[in-house]
Structure 1
């Protein structure tokens, strides 16, 4: 019976062994003497260690297996165990054969190589229970189809190129096929193939790259994580609404947990929940857990267990400082993402020099004859709501509906009757802009949707926000959460006297990217209301995963789009939590 510490040590040792094999393969690819020595051993009377063949494909295989094993994927453990056992069996067969003419048993390095492979197999067996992360059920079937289809296409391409460009005498079909296969697996074919065929260097490079692409595709579909559920169940949504009724005033982003492209994990007591969406293998939660803060640790623990069970990378976008502290106790690291702009109705005023720009914009729009109407969604007749939804879709910037952590992703649903619609009409009664807010507890609103007609006058949004604040008593409003300002502190401190060169450089970099992603403009649009700035954080487990998390967050928010995969690579299965 092995102890948990022993199992963890064995699992870690197997990962480091694969990392070492990946490094040796890369060195063999880059170093001609080492590559020649490994190739000589593989073709002569010696064994090289498990997965070491001085080839780019072997380097990628060892590296991908190391990554999959580090994430404790069960499929990677099965693949390694089977392949290692077969390799070791082949080694022992040659080492124990009584025919001395083969020579393998007379070289100590072969015994050392077999012992190293046996130790790796032992580490795999001892650490077996550590590899519990589930993969998608369709992965083996899809990987096999990818290997057969991609291998056939790559081989056909290689045969055509070798036939068209190869020079030499005495090379038949089997020789050309052997050359192509050798180029797929290693950087150098056998000595016999070199004598029979002389192929241009660009053909060899094409064969190597083709093999790498096919092999990466196979590894991707073989070890990819499951997608997870893509929407809330009706029962989950009802439970979340109950929690929001009791504790919704704690987090301005709480209502966005009801997005129907999220799944929910509840604490054992059922008093709190974490909602998430899986994007590119990243289990992306948003905002604070919903419900009683005393039950947050249970919900966070259940969410992390769900992520580890499927080898998802856990991450949180837009958590408050209070939730960030609890997430940190569960092993996550925090990085300030930006600030949320919150306006307290009781403290808001248009008086003073600091509010001059907003005051002038409001007065200019009011003199132009614009009017504002504020209503709950439930008070808007269905045909009128349909027209508002159609106008909002027509004014949307681009075909993609953006938002994830601070957007509901739908407008006009009957279940969202407590949401508030702010409509702006011109002097002729034509709708020119609209804002939609979701409930934030009993006396707060959080901005969900902001759309305007491009032909309308400037300042419509400021006019609508101020009119909403002035009519706060009509909807029982005490505070409003406006847009999120990413990297707000950088823009604020970077403009101050005495800002250092690093801060100014970071400020200039963000200003450059603001030409496409409106980073600075959102900060300026929020700052004009003199709000209270509440910091929001991104939570992550490992710094090496930040780029992957950023890409997943960009995809979830609609700022990053990825090309649609061919049907072969798409998954149809879902994982129920």
Structure 2
């Protein structure tokens, strides 16, 4: 029985791959025909009269784009793509069979029998590989695709007819003839409608109409087969269960508390003892940090998450996973790539003494002599009016119009449920608030940096002064370790500048230094290194290397490096409203 099942699975897989590769080959042939006049004329000759060409082989950019999209969607195991190909190829097969029965001219051409053989093989591959195409689409896709088709078709018709009316050929024809020409051109990419005009239609009109029709086809195909977005927010019950897991296992991962962002979704293990939090962006199911809960229950949560990703044709990926979690994810088929290192300071080991800390010690003393003071309090000890004032300052001090952070930021400030978070308030000699630091709990005796904001007119070194003050006062609030910023590609900066570094490592370091002009890459590493922390590597996990560009794009989107429409202020949580409702998507900056 096991051997039979294995053989059937292999046949199903090979059949599904055959269907996908057929679409890829047809797409390549259509693209070649679009640029090769002789081949294009041969295909079009076989598409006329008594000839039939194989499914989707029509020699043009539109059919090539359609075949490419179909191949991509079939490669993602989309059920809707399988249905579309089965219906369209089935209709063509039926039409060809009827023609072979009724028309002697069609029967006389061997090419038509070869086409029928190709169609039968493609149909058989679809039927045998049907079980592979089980991914669900968004229920709103058909309605959206219909809207795009109607709207895009009207735009193409209006633009094409309007442009044609401005030419000499269009002015000499009736409105009906112009509309008919544009429709025929958009559908067939053919100029057969030019007999309605006394002079030839300009080539640029044809190119414009063709370009619009291809764009509409691409958009309709995307709308029809796009992946579901997934649930965007944690519900109250989900959040309560996650908090219970964090109470018992929160000390394992410094990023665990960030799982409580309310623009994340969650899937629990069958036992309920572990969970994976994620967000779906552009067809990527992007999890962050390690699974929450009992490490022995992690595999159950990971399997449920991967099963959900396969069901909806999402690309699974994890950002910011620890080495321990990476090993567990690797057992489920995910590969790992080192993303950078997290700076963790053990309070008991931190000291300003010694020659290596001389610069940090002098900077700390300089800021302290200027009259700055730091108060350390739990959020629960801050009054509502004070918290509202801090939120106003944090919004005003934000660097730029885009909030950044997702995997290492909580996404809200001032929520009563986050009472165990720690706030550092830095005031100048006149008692005016100049900077804020907010940390989330990391188990019972740890803190993880969430938010850093300061007045841009304040003295330099204010953030370093506040971090040192926290480390010196940490024991008074029961804190033994502090997770600071995340340094992307830290090892490259550290090893790439040393004697004996290889040419590839030096080149990679030069690239990162170049991009550090716009993004805080090298500066974050330098800022963290001054505290002499322990460096804990963090990884990005993925199934296939070819998915890395999509994963990088999704990660840049959620982290705020790709701008998205969003509200300009920090969410106030439940201090502004007693209702526990999903908040607008917000990403707070985890780094300075």
2:473 equivalent to 1:471 = yes
Q: Which of 335, 339, 360 is the equivalent residue of 2:341?
A: 339
Partners of 1:556 and 1:273 lie apart in 2 by 20
Displacement, 1:450? 0.4
Partners of 2:482 and 2:170 lie apart in 1 by 79
Q: After the TM superposition, which residues 5-24 of structure 1 pair with which residues of structure 2 at under 5 Å, given as runs? A: 5-24=10-29
1:262 maps to 264
Does the C-alpha gap of structure 1 residues 259 and 498 become closer, same or farther in structure 2, counting only changes over 3 Å? same
2:217 maps to 215
2:77 equivalent to 1:84 = no
Displacement, 1:122? 2.0
1:30 maps to 35
2:59 equivalent to 1:54 = yes
CA RMSD of aligned residues (A): 2.0
2:319 maps to 317
8 A contact 1:372–1:467 mirrored in 2: yes
8 A contact 1:169–1:196 mirrored in 2: no
8 A contact 2:438–2:449 mirrored in 1: yes
8 A contact 2:33–2:59 mirrored in 1: yes
8 A contact 1:288–1:320 mirrored in 2: yes
1:118 maps to 120
2:68 equivalent to 1:66 = no
Ranges in structure 2 where 5+ consecutive residues have no aligned partner: 567-592
Partners of 1:150 and 1:197 lie apart in 2 by 28
Deviations for 1:241-284, whole angstroms, at most 9, x for unmatched residues? 11111111111000000101001101111111000011111111
Does the C-alpha gap of structure 1 residues 147 and 197 become closer, same or farther in structure 2, counting only changes over 3 Å? farther
Q: After the TM superposition, which residues 480-495 of structure 1 pair with which residues of structure 2 at under 5 Å, given as runs? A: 480-495=482-497
For normalisation by structure 1, the TM-score amounts to: 0.93
Any idea what SS the aligned residue of 2:119 has? helix
1:572 maps to none
2:276 maps to 274
Does the C-alpha gap of structure 1 residues 245 and 338 become closer, same or farther in structure 2, counting only changes over 3 Å? same
Q: After the TM superposition, which residues 314-463 of structure 1 pair with which residues of structure 2 at under 5 Å, given as runs? A: 314-463=316-465
8 A contact 1:54–1:186 mirrored in 2: no
Partners of 2:79 and 2:177 lie apart in 1 by 39
2:564 equivalent to 1:557 = no
Displacement, 1:119? 1.8
8 A contact 1:29–1:187 mirrored in 2: no
Partners of 1:105 and 1:453 lie apart in 2 by 83
8 A contact 1:286–1:316 mirrored in 2: yes
8 A contact 2:447–2:482 mirrored in 1: yes
Any idea what SS the aligned residue of 1:43 has? coil
Q: Which moved more, 1:25-34 or 1:440-449?
A: 25-34
1:43 maps to 48
* Residue correspondences, number: 561
Displacement, 1:160? 2.5
Partners of 2:199 and 2:521 lie apart in 1 by 58
8 A contact 1:337–1:538 mirrored in 2: yes
Partners of 1:193 and 1:44 lie apart in 2 by 20
Partners of 1:324 and 1:407 lie apart in 2 by 21
Displacement, 1:230? 1.0
Displacement, 1:192? 6.7
Q: After the TM superposition, which residues 498-509 of structure 1 pair with which residues of structure 2 at under 5 Å, given as runs? A: 498-509=500-511
Q: Which moved more, 1:214-223 or 1:491-500?
A: 491-500
Any idea what SS the aligned residue of 2:518 has? helix
Ranges in structure 1 where 5+ consecutive residues have no aligned partner: 565-577
2:98 maps to 93
Displacement, 1:84? 1.2
2:573 maps to none
For normalisation by structure 2, the TM-score amounts to: 0.91
Partners of 1:135 and 1:315 lie apart in 2 by 19
Partners of 2:286 and 2:170 lie apart in 1 by 57
Deviations for 1:6-52, whole angstroms, at most 9, x for unmatched residues? 22222221111111111111111121111111111112321111001
1:252 maps to 254
Does the C-alpha gap of structure 1 residues 300 and 168 become closer, same or farther in structure 2, counting only changes over 3 Å? closer
Partners of 2:551 and 2:525 lie apart in 1 by 23
1:571 maps to none
Any idea what SS the aligned residue of 2:407 has? coil
1:134 maps to 136
Deviations for 1:48-74, whole angstroms, at most 9, x for unmatched residues? 110011010100101101111111111
Any idea what SS the aligned residue of 1:471 has? helix
Partners of 2:98 and 2:166 lie apart in 1 by 41
Displacement, 1:445? 0.5
8 A contact 2:266–2:277 mirrored in 1: yes
